Amino acid sequence: MPVGFLLLLHVIGATVLFGTGAGIAFFMVMAHRTRDPKLIAHVAETVVIADTVFTATAAILQPVTGYLLAQNIGWSLEEGWIALSLLLYVVTGVFWLPVVWIQIRLRNLARASAAKGLPLPPAYFSLYRIWFACGFPAFFAVIGILWLMLNKPSIALF
């Protein structure tokens, strides 16, 4: 595969990961602020679908295109900036995977509340706080990866 095409796929994947993540966070926070179980259930349903279609797909393709790019260009995966990017990618995943499960739980709790005409239960708010907190390290890890990809600094790790 030509390097230019791989680079395009890799950049598209990075923008999808970053953009979808930021969009999901924004819409979940805005829905949460309403405290309306019906609205939250609807938004969370859309968020779960977006995470499945966009984020998961890009998350799978990113390491593949990154590896193929490195191989075609001649970069070792042990180069400092690449190794650090991979580490940050793992950090992102460690925080993103629980978030997906939490979003599904938030959706289900909001659905149940909406169906019964009840306010959101305390479990919803506890999970939301965890969801919110997990977003920060994942967000900043992605920012770090983008910075490393753009700047390719000389970092001696090995």
Averaged over 25-51, what is the pLDDT? 97
- CB-hemisphere CA count at 13 Å for 26? 6
Q: Which amino acid is at 91?
A: V
The answer, as to whether pTM is greater than 0.85, is: yes
pLDDT in tens, 60-100: 999 999 999 999 999 999 999 999 999 999 999 999 999 99
Max Cα-Cα span within the chain? 60
Distances (CA, A) of 144 to 1, 55, 60, 88: 27, 18, 19, 7
Residue spans per domain, the chain = 3-151
